Structure 1
């Protein structure tokens, strides 16, 4: 067992390694694809965690291959540490939505500037929702039975992005460009 409890980033890497050996580069790519929409992970974090987990005996480094890439595989100790982490209740989520800070202090910005930020973020959320909708449309009917965990995560993404878009659409007039009150800074 590791000297310190697993953090969520290390646990996610161990979770991905249950599927088979992967290089740090592979893990970065898989993490961006599978959890990037709701969990931030940098390349430096991945390599730092792999080094720490190798030192703790949770992963084993394989032979270096092409382009000096080194695969890592999960050990029995890593499986046990992951299982222990997974059995614990998840920590409470913390909303870190930088746009909300800007909106909170929006009275200190020119109204059109704030409206531009809001429009750009709304467009990004609409694009994310469209991506989730496309992924959902491509699921086979039996997807719930085959991989209910990924489907549940996708459904959260759909609901979250729709809720955020609903929030944008319900913003009060002073936060919209060209409306009465928006010109009062």
Structure 2
């Protein structure tokens, strides 16, 4: 589990976030533009492959709180695999403690990882997604009729800055859906 804050000063009235997001969180790619005042600082934080590692949750929470204290215009993203393949203390409780921790951390959005499908797509729809208090995103998952299965993106506004976040699964995930 790693936390990688990315900080930058917004120059001009509009900023694209694609490159910074790739560095932050792999498959979770904030794209689009944010109207901001010249010189306004935003912070993007990302983590991935949490896998129910509740033992490290307090360290992650401490880092997130520290970064947010430095800049209220901060966003927290997960690139997926928050549940599934989880540590015993989370797995034995169907990852409910992990979802509670992620909600408490104030995750803004997550890309759906391959392990979110470990117990099948119905489990993701019926157990995981209803419990999360943040957007579960996967723009590139379609059913047999060609309809998108998950929410593709979320627009998050904080302190007047709008960030569009698009989630995507890896090509290896297709066989699990």
Q: TM-score range by the shorter chain?
A: under 0.3
Which has more strand, going by share of residues? 2
Which structure has the bigger radius of gyration?
A: 1
Name the structure with the higher helix share: 1
Select the structure with the greater relative contact order (CA < 8 A; seq sep ≥ 6). 2
